[in-house]
Chains A and B, each alone.
Chain A
Amino acid sequence: MKISFPYMGTSHIVAGYLLENLGHEVIHPPVPSKKTLSLGVQHAPEFACLPFKIVLGTYLEVVEMGAEVLITSGGCGPCRAGYYGEMHKRILHDLGYPVEMIVIEPPLVEPFDFFKKLHRLVKPKGYINLVRVLRVAWAKMQALDDLEKTLHKLRPLVFAKKQLNRIYDEGLEAIRRADSVKEVAVARKDALEAMHSLPADHHYKPLRIGLIGEIYVVLEPFANFDIERILGEMGAYVHRSIFLTNWIRDNVLAHGEKDIRAAAVPFLNEMVGGHGQNSVGEVVRYAAKNFDGVIQLAPFTCIPEIVAKSIMPAASKARGIPVMTLYLDEQTGQGGIETRLEAFLDLLRQKRRKQEAS
């Protein structure tokens, strides 16, 4: 059976490696493009969110490429994303694609179902192989996150910003090719060294921006117009609240993130699904860490982020940190996003100058 999966940020490198080395034929999903989005928009309900539409577009692309089985994550609500696997399956069947959908539910909620599905995927090459493959995959994931964190840190400081992007992209490719924990370590070290070797102004104090919001639009550059790059090239340091490794640690292996949610309690005293409560908590945390500002990314019609957004002004005011919400959907234009980001950075610079003067 030919297997494929959704595309989100750098996760495809790990997912592709895992499935291939468990002994499956993998159809690698293409980088989401305008074509992906328009395919998704055409067949998705109008008020489904942007991640739903992009992922549906990706599915339509991979089934055309021959995928027979799609693997995705499930969830138990109340965010809609937990139902997307089921919904996507129905839409694909309705369009006449007889794909099979394997929806992996969170192991802590449905342990039996999880291991049943896991067993099916692991069977071809056995469990000893699984241990090896998982170790490499985890190493890859950590290396990818390290590269990305370094990229965020160096971008505002390095003079040749485009060259930095290139080295980073090459680093991703090297990590993708690596086939053992050792090779991953070498690829990681080479890429980090190359990034650090670029001439940079280490005395420059960039604006520090926290990036929060719904996981897909935060992690997938196509969905957010590569906002980290835009901000970095404008000279700001972006701290992203979500990385794959910490997300998996907190949501799949254990119920984590309690401190973030506790920080949100004065403003939002309930889990509202998705990253809604986290978003509010992160604002409080960024304010405590003296960040200059926070940008919230939300898919248009995203329920948890709408709840968060309506609470944001109160949290922003109480903690004295500017927050800007950007809604993303298929209508959003790059120009409008860039204008808002530029103006937001101007606002933060003026604020910092005023604070320094007083």
Chain B
Amino acid sequence: MRVGIPRTLSFFTLYPLWKPFFEGLGVDVVVSPESNKALLDEGVRETVNDACVPIKLFHGHVAALKNKVDILFMPRLVSLDGKHTLCPKFLGLPDMVRCSISGLPEIIDFRLDLKKGKLELYRFLYRVGQRFTASRAKIIRAIWLARHNFSRYRKLLLQGLTPQEAFNCLDTGYEPQPEKNMSSIRLAVLGYPYSLYDNYISVGLLEKLKSYGVNVVTPEMVPERELKRMSKNLPKNLFWYYSNRVVWSCMYFLQKQNVDGVIHVTAFGCGPDAMTNKLVELETKYNPRKIPFLTVTIDEHTGEVGVATRVEAFVDLIRRKKGMV
């Protein structure tokens, strides 16, 4: 039995939970290849025009998996923190995929809605487990493995590893030390994990910044309790899980980490980001230090050159501002 997991959207948040869980059930996990041109083209062909790039890319990943697995795992993610939902496109995703792509294998699309309580995650996993085995003990053991692995993953992210580095670390045990360049500038790069950590769609933005000798911080490096503290700053929070984390971590980086600049990576046509981007912009603008702010919009036509030019100029601007050149 092979279960397919698309390498995008919630992958960078939840894969370390799913993988040991399925393996514990004795199921092979197949992950779609890293995003590439052919995969994106396929997604663009299948998806409704007006959708954002990440949704198109997801369709491409599903198409790449559909003939290689017996079951596609794309749970309907409704709420991951018990308070806020995900973007409506996540909520309708299984239905969108079913209506757009033909010849799909069996799909597991149980709802995961933590608004129903903290235990809902375990009930969800148990339901999924029942699809594969009748053995209660086996499922419970798989859940335990998943939980253990997942909390190790979260710790690694807090230490400053990227999701890919953390995956490697969990597999091999090798823990790279995140290089810190003390003399350099520190930038907050905000955005959704599926845009930031997908090297193809972000046209290698994080790598590029590191190659300029910039210290990069991202929302995944902010502890939960700090995010929670920041959430009290807004009279009304946004409705979406990932968007809130972007706004809260922006406030955290501005208030607690003295970042020199903020880059917001947003996908062309992203609905929640029309709000998120403005909030982040106003946060930087009304910060007493007037933090430089750059929006990088990515889409299926993004050229590497265009992004590089803007980011390079932005870094230069900050260096100048700090009197480093």
Contact = CB atoms under 8 A, between A and B. Distances in A.
Nearest to A82: B239
A310 B87 contact: no
Interface string A304-339: 101111110110000000000001000000000000
A71 B123 CA distance: 43
A332 to B, nearest CB: 13
Given A301-B50, A303-B272, A311-B95, A94 B282 contact: yes
A276 interface: yes
A83 B271 contact: no
A270 B78 contact: yes
B26 interface: no
Nearest to A47: B274
Contacts of B277: 45
B51 interface: yes
Given A82-B239, A270-B76, A313 B99 contact: yes
A133 B278 CA distance: 39
A302 B96 CA distance: 15
Contacts of B274: 45-49, 52, 80, 301
B48 A301 contact: no
Contacts of A301: 50, 269, 271, 274
B88 A304 contact: yes
A125 B157 CA distance: 58
Interface string A79-116: 11011001100110010000000010000000000000
B317 interface: no
B229 interface: no
B96 A300 contact: no
Nearest to A309: B48
Given A83-B239, A309-B50, A310-B48, A47 B273 contact: yes
A131 B111 CA distance: 44
A303 to B, nearest CB: 4
B275 interface: yes
A126 interface: no
A256 interface: no
Interface string A35-76: 000000000011111001000000000000000000000101
B232 to A, nearest CB: 15
Interface in B82-100: 84-89, 91-92, 95-96, 98-100
B240 interface: yes
A310 B239 contact: no
A48 B76 CA distance: 25
A91 B275 CA distance: 11
Chain A: number of interface residues, binned into ranges: 35 or more
A305 B163 CA distance: 32
A206 interface: no
B88 A310 contact: no
Contacts of A91: 278
A283 to B, nearest CB: 13
A49 B235 CA distance: 23
Interface residues of B, number: 37
Nearest to B86: A78
B255 to A, nearest CB: 18
A210 to B, nearest CB: 20
A300 B50 CA distance: 8
Given A47-B271, A268-B95, A270-B95, A87 B88 contact: no
B169 interface: no
A307 B87 CA distance: 11
A83 B275 contact: yes
Given A86-B235, A269-B95, A307-B92, A47 B100 contact: no
A77 interface: yes
B57 to A, nearest CB: 15
B50 A90 contact: no
Given A45-B275, A309-B50, A79 B282 contact: no
A184 to B, nearest CB: 36
Contacts of B278: 45, 87, 90-91
B87 A78 contact: yes
The residue among A273, A310, A314 with the most chain B CB atoms within 10 A of its own CB is A310
B238 interface: yes
Interface in B252-276: 269-275
A47 B50 CA distance: 12
Contacts of B111: 270
A168 B148 CA distance: 68
B271 A80 contact: yes
B279 interface: yes
B17 to A, nearest CB: 21
Contacts of A225: none
Contacts of B91: 78, 270-273, 307
Contacts of B269: 47, 301
A273 B84 CA distance: 13
B236 interface: yes
A274 interface: yes
A191 B95 CA distance: 46
B95 A307 contact: yes
Given A77-B85, A80-B274, 4 more contacts: A103-B236, A301-B269, A310-B92, A310-B96
- The 8 closest A-B CB pairs, nearest first, are A77-B239, A307-B92, A310-B48, A303-B271, A47-B274, A314-B99, A272-B88, A48-B274
7 contacts: A45-B277, A48-B274, A78-B85, A90-B279, A301-B274, A310-B92, A327-B50
